[in-house]
Amino acid sequence: MRAGPEKLHSMASSVILENLVKTYNGGEVLAVDDVSFEVKDGELFGLIGPDGAGKTSIFRILTTLLLADKGTARVAEYDVVKDYRAIRNCVGYMPGRFSLYQDLTIQENLEFFATVFGTTIQANYDLIKDIYEQIKPFGHRRAGKLSGGMKQKLALCCALIHKPRVLLLDEPTTGVDVVSRKEFWDMLKRLKQQGITILVSTPYMDEANRCERIALIQKGRILSVDTPQQIIDAFPKTLYAVRSADIYRLLQDVRQMEEVESCYTFGEFLHVTFRDDRPDAAGRLKDYVAKKGHTDVVAEKTAPGIEDSFIRLTNEHPEIQEKVS
Ligand SMILES: Nc1ncnc2c1ncn2[C@@H]1O[C@H](COP(=O)(O)OP(=O)(O)OP(=O)(O)O)[C@@H](O)[C@H]1O
């Protein structure tokens, strides 16, 4: 019989995934496709990808709620299969879909989660204080009657109530207003400063810069793991932003230009790269679209962002392309 959970020593990573595979429907749906990455102790790490990329499946494996088909994962030095009880005690989990008891008040929800973990609100008050004080004035309001931002703060308090070493937050900012999203990331920064390791997922590419390192995920595959800046710096081409009065026709026209390598809509602009980086590309692009009868044309160099890197990396993986089509 095992004496207790097996601790692995001298590791500098709080979360380790090795070649994880998860399928559904008897292997028909490949949700997590050979995923490996590590979250270092004390790191604020983002798992970034669109709906259906496999983020929730990964979180459910890490929180011991789902078994992987293949591969291994360790959280806070414990194996997710063998040591599931130990993991549940040292991990704080905020699932994507709202997990609070809607009919209980703020106070009751917190007390409930504290009791489940054999602790009290007072015992860990220092950790939740900053966040709790923002929702405390509404302490007697039922969770179901709170705004998205307040629900999110309460869910974070509940995930923190047992002083976890590792926080696993699955899309905590989805469907939350811009101000609350910003406040939430500020809270995560403060929790990181208190030594908590945080793995957070988001479909919002603009939140990548809030993380120290990120993994970009698409169709179950990891496209890249690095700091947001290094991922952006690895963008290999000069990027141009172009627009005209008729953006839809512009997209079709620019895509037909022979030298164009990639062209996709990006807000009110198209983002364009060329097969060869030539210094006169912006001028040539302007001339080309003017000849096609476009008016109010703007064409200029622009700095790539995480989303541009994401699109490029997706296009560079033919196996993902096949699955998309
Ligand atoms: N229980 C299930 N049965 C069948 N397919 C599933 C199941 N759960 C997830 N999937 C599929 O697995 C893939 C990955 O889903 P997953 O929920 O892990 O991704 P996600 O990135 O969290 O996206 P979302 O934000 O939409 O939940 C998707 O194609 C999804 O439809």
Strands 239-243 and 269-274, bridge-based pairing: antiparallel
Cβ of 31 closer than 6 Å to ligand 1, yes or no, is yes
Cβ of 54 closer than 6 Å to ligand 1, yes or no, is yes
Give SS3 for 279. coil
Q: Name residue 129's amino acid.
A: K
Q: What is the mean pLDDT of residues 201-222?
A: 96
- CA distance linking residue 6 with residue 53, whole number of Å: 32
Cβ of 25 closer than 6 Å to ligand 1, yes or no, is yes
What does the pLDDT read at residue 298? Answer: 93
321: pLDDT strictly greater than 90: no
What does the pLDDT read at residue 36? Answer: 98
Give the residue, by CA position, lying nearest to ligand 1 atom 23.
Answer: 52
Alpha helix (H) residue ranges in the chain: 55-62, 84-90, 106-116, 125-135, 148-160, 178-193, 228-233, 247-256, 281-291, 306-315, 318-324
Cβ of 218 closer than 6 Å to ligand 1, yes or no, is no
Does the domain at 13-226 match CATH 3.40.50.2300? Answer given as no
Q: What is the mean pLDDT of residues 296-317?
A: 94
300: pLDDT strictly greater than 90: yes
Q: Which of 46, 45, 38 is nearest to 76 (CA)?
A: 38
Cβ of 57 closer than 6 Å to ligand 1, yes or no, is yes
Non-local (6+) Cβ contacts of 208 within 8 A are 46, 48, 202, 214, 228, 231, 306
325: pLDDT strictly greater than 70: no
Residue 98's pLDDT band, with cuts at 50, 70 and 90, is low
Ligand 1 centroid vs 57 CA: distance in angstroms?
7
Strands 70-75 and 260-266, bridge-based pairing: unpaired
Contact present, 240 and 271 (Cβ < 8 Å):
yes
Ligand 1 centroid vs 31 CA: distance in angstroms?
6
Contact present, 273 and 230 (Cβ < 8 Å):
no
Question: pTM to 2 decimals?
Answer: 0.90
For residue range 105-152, list pLDDT tens digits in order.
Answer: 998 999 988 888 889 988 888 889 988 898 889 888 899 998 888 888
- CA distance linking residue 215 with residue 185, whole number of Å: 17
Q: What is the mean pLDDT of residues 178-204?
A: 93
Ligand 1 nearest atom to the CA of residue 58, by list position: 18
Cβ of 13 closer than 6 Å to ligand 1, yes or no, is no
Task: Give CATH 3.30.70.100 domain extents, the chain.
Answer: 236-303
- Identify which of 20, 56, 171 to mutate to test ligand 1's pocket (most ligand atoms within 8 A of the CB): 56
Task: Give CATH 3.40.50.300 domain extents, the chain.
Answer: 13-226
Structure tokens at 325: 């089509």
* Mean pLDDT across the chain: 90
Cβ of 53 closer than 6 Å to ligand 1, yes or no, is yes
| Contacts of 33-37 spanning 24+ positions with Cβ under 8 A | 33/219, 33/220, 33/221, 34/71, 34/221, 35/71, 35/217, 35/220, 35/221, 35/222, 36/71, 36/222, 37/215, 37/222, 37/225
For residue range 31-87, list pLDDT tens digits in order.
Answer: 999 999 999 999 999 999 999 999 999 999 999 999 999 999 999 999 999 998 899
Instruction: Please give the C-alpha separations between residue 261 and each of 231, 238, 258, 266, 277, in angstroms, as whole numbers.
Output: 20, 11, 8, 16, 10
Cβ of 271 closer than 6 Å to ligand 1, yes or no, is no
Give the residue, by CA position, lying nearest to ligand 1 atom 6.
Answer: 24
198: pLDDT strictly greater than 50: yes
Residue 2's pLDDT band, with cuts at 50, 70 and 90, is very low
Ligand 1 nearest atom to the CA of residue 25, by list position: 4
Ligand 1 centroid vs 307 CA: distance in angstroms?
21
Give the residue, by CA position, lying nearest to ligand 1 atom 26.
Answer: 51
Structure tokens at 175: 């469907």
Q: Which of 203, 215, 200, 206 is nearest to 95 (CA)?
A: 200
Ligand 1 centroid vs 21 CA: distance in angstroms?
13
For residue range 174-184, list pLDDT tens digits in order.
Answer: 888 888 899 99
DSSP 8-72: PPS--EEEEEEEEEEEEGGGTEEEEEEEEEEEETT-EEEEE--TTSSHHHHHHHHTTSS--SEEE
What does the pLDDT read at residue 231? Answer: 97
- Identify which of 30, 55, 62, 310 to mutate to test ligand 1's pocket (most ligand atoms within 8 A of the CB): 55
Q: What is the mean pLDDT of residues 227-254?
A: 96
Cβ of 295 closer than 6 Å to ligand 1, yes or no, is no
Residues 47, 49, 51, 57, Cα dihedral to 10°: -40
261: pLDDT strictly greater than 70: yes
User: How large is the greatest C-alpha to C-alpha distance in the chain, in angstroms?
Assistant: 79
What does the pLDDT read at residue 84? Answer: 87
Residue 37 β-bridge partners: 17
What does the pLDDT read at residue 3? Answer: 44
Q: Name residue 218's amino acid.
A: Q
| Domain boundaries 236-303, corresponding CATH code | 3.30.70.100
